[in-house]
Structure 1
């Protein structure tokens, strides 16, 4: 443990519903505003769930070229915009060849995505099949970049080219934990000495007819179409499913001593990461939360962190009956008596559930909370559920300085992940 390289976050970029950029995102969270509305991307009238948290996004207005917009799916475009903000925030001249730029062979990329270019793939299929009229599709109507829509690795490739990253490049696709897992994997690359800097995060743009139909079928999304603003209600007794969202968050991870040498601003240190699989059911969760609890315990142990040091838990908090029960049990099981004193909240109540992207968006929110001493609330929390009996920071942000925070994620397929963020001053080198 003594010779383990320490990893810190020195840049954050966010593309989220209801806001644009890191500061707009933070202002929205701390104000407790929700960004959920009736779907505008297509006519949702035939769907059970007709609400979503959409991003008002235009790549050209946010600095992308016409070529970049033409060849890339929306999820890649959002990742590029978020990464531009994160790299600028870090102060690292990545890909520039300027003095002080890191060795390109020591710069990596780790991008998470649950569903990749679903939106582009669906649009292309509509074109080549003439809206489903023909079983044998006509390739003459396909874009020359159709193959980008098929392979989610195009996201990592675009970021690697953009920042001249010649080190490890990977796409992590573990469903709804993809965002946490990508950041955790990036942290491990630096800890193990395989990279000095990693551009890491996740992006997803799943608000399309095929995605909505998938979640309608299993009734995981909310049916509260009459009141979109209050449809996402994690931990509330009236919750009836999650609100689909979209977005991206990218973080710049860097070895601590390197960041100190260049006097970089440090948001937080990543002191532990772990993931588990419950090997139980593709969509079901056992109520005892054992696997998530084990992920939390392992992540804390990596950084020699005691449960009673945790001051905040950024919850998965999807707003489904079983998830919120499962997660509450996992926090109690892993933190013990300290769980009753820990503040916990779900930002999905405000920005929806952007599948693979949400994990990195939540890590970004947790890093900002540590740095700024303000904990975001759980919006729309009004009716307590006896089975969910922790402190969920109802409706109003809370000024509270914490030294250690945990962000957790739970995904279909049984994935359970936890990442621990700490103030760098908590431990001496």
Structure 2
């Protein structure tokens, strides 16, 4: 490592209830929820019939007819969001060496929406055992290879440096940002366009999560169905979305007078090597990721001003995560505010980690802690300060964002204000 520091200088967010970064932050700080009955298809055959959908029109978002035809919905979200991040950064990409500019994009389930739709098309709604390929979209191959997402974003920004897709389940969005940060730190790139995208709201995804009873059956009240850390929670609400950042070497960003949201000061990832969907009750692996991320940032545990939790709303996760905070932060776990934005935007699988990094960076910049919506009933096993219902204004120089994913993945990112934290 060269010891170079990494800053977020551009941000784009396309999320349920908040297309664009400004709208996204307003929704979070107002404690509004974007969960509703599924409208993309008839959800009545499924146990869980609610989701956090985006009102996204690719034409209005500026995609050309050819781009719309070529790209799956998740790729469309990624490209539109990357364009917002690039514009927000104020960086003239034409003046940056393209081979020193890279892309890392996280995704858990790739082109699920497109593949689901195309199978229904070529199989005539599942009636044909031998499908007719002539009915498929011409660019179907791109749906099969998630690497096409990174390619689309690289083409959109003119990046010719390192380009990859990170797919580590629900930590993909954290890990893609962490990997991009490492590339800048080690000197392999000067600028990285990094983030994540997923658009999993489809019949096949709903059926899969129904089978393991991970999603909530609270269909009669969609607006309040996602309730992390609440004693009456019954599973997560599926979502979709994308968040993309422009990352730069900090001193270079300062020289050009860039607006800096936050510095990425630490990152770590661990795996429990235990179970595909199960979690150990002691939270040891998440606690270890938190410890290493804080060590990398050279910060003590009591410097953390806010924790952006994974907070999926399953009993297993929320109790595991509570134990991890106590194990890693000690007494400070009882003093620091913690919240889950999944209560408002749902769980967009691989994309949510980057969406939560966006919320964390904005918390650093704005000195506001977003709330956990729908948190009314205490759970004795989740006895920390989970910021129920209402946002809080407070100094947030250091924010810890964590994620937990199927396969046992546990990741942590530390964001700081580079000016205030150095004071």
Tell me, yes or no, whether TM beats 0.5: yes
Please say if 1:188 is aligned against 2:182.
yes
- Whether 1:126 and 2:120 are equivalent positions in the alignment is yes
Instruction: Choose from 315, 322, 331 the match for 1:321.
Output: 315
SS at match of 1:395: coil
Alignment match, 1:250: 244
CA drift at 1:396: 0.3
SS of the residue 2:200 aligns to: coil
Please point out which of 123, 147, 150 is paired with 2:144. 150
Equivalent residue runs for 1:279-428 within 5 Å: 279-426=273-420, 428=422
What runs of 5+ residues in structure 1 fail to find an aligned partner?
Answer: none
Cα separation, partners in 2 of 1:262 and 1:65, compared to 1, 3 Å: same
Q: What's the CA shift for 1:132?
A: 1.1
Provide the C-alpha distance between the structure 2 equivalents of 1:283 and 1:243, rounded to a whole number of angstroms: 17
Is 1:113 the counterpart of 2:107? The answer is yes
Give the Å deviation of 1:303. 1.1
Contact 2:83 2:156 in 1 (8 A): no
How many aligned residue pairs are there?
Answer: 423
Aligned residue for 1:224?
A: 218
1:237 to 2:231 alignment: yes
Q: Deviations over 1:222-280 (max 9, x none)?
A: 00000000000000000000000000000111000110110001000001100000011
Cα distance, 1:157 vs. partner?
A: 0.1
Query: Is contact 2:398–2:421 with CA below 8 Å preserved after alignment?
Result: no
The aligned counterpart of 2:70 is 71
Partner residue of 1:44? 43
Check if 1:197 corresponds to 2:191.
Answer: yes
Shift of 1:428: 4.9
* Contact 2:173/2:352 (8 A) holds in 1: yes
Give the aligned partner of residue 93 of structure 1: 92
Residue aligned with 1:221, SS: coil
User: Distance between the aligned counterparts of 2:152 and 2:331, measured in 1?
Assistant: 46
Give unpaired runs (5+ residues) of structure 2: none
Report the TM-score when normalising by structure 2: 0.99
- Residue 80 (structure 1) aligned with residue 79 (structure 2): yes
Q: How does 1:17-36 map to 2 (within 5 A)?
A: 17-36=16-35
TM-score by length of 1: 0.97
Give the 3-state SS of the residue equivalent to 2:12 in structure 1: strand
| Deviations 1:293-324, CA, capped at 9 Å, x for gaps | 00000000001110000010000000000000
2-structure distance, mates of 1:248, 1:15: 5
CA distance in 2, matches of 1:135, 1:285: 39
- Map Cα deviations across residues 130-169 of structure 1 (whole Å, 9 max, x no partner): 1111221111111110101101111100011111101000
Once the 2 structures are TM-superposed, how far is the Cα of residue 427 of structure 1 from its aligned partner? 5.2
For the residues of structure 2 that align with 1:112 and 1:309, how far apart are their CA atoms? Answer: 29
Instruction: Show structure 1 runs of 4+ deviating over 4 A.
Output: 426-429
1:330 match: secondary structure: helix
Whether 1:136 and 2:130 are equivalent positions in the alignment is yes
Aligned CA-pair RMSD: 1.0
2:270 counterpart of 1:271? no
Report the more deviating stretch, 133-142 or 28-37.
Answer: 133-142
Deviations 1:53-95 (A, max 9, x none): 000001110111111111000001011111111110100122x
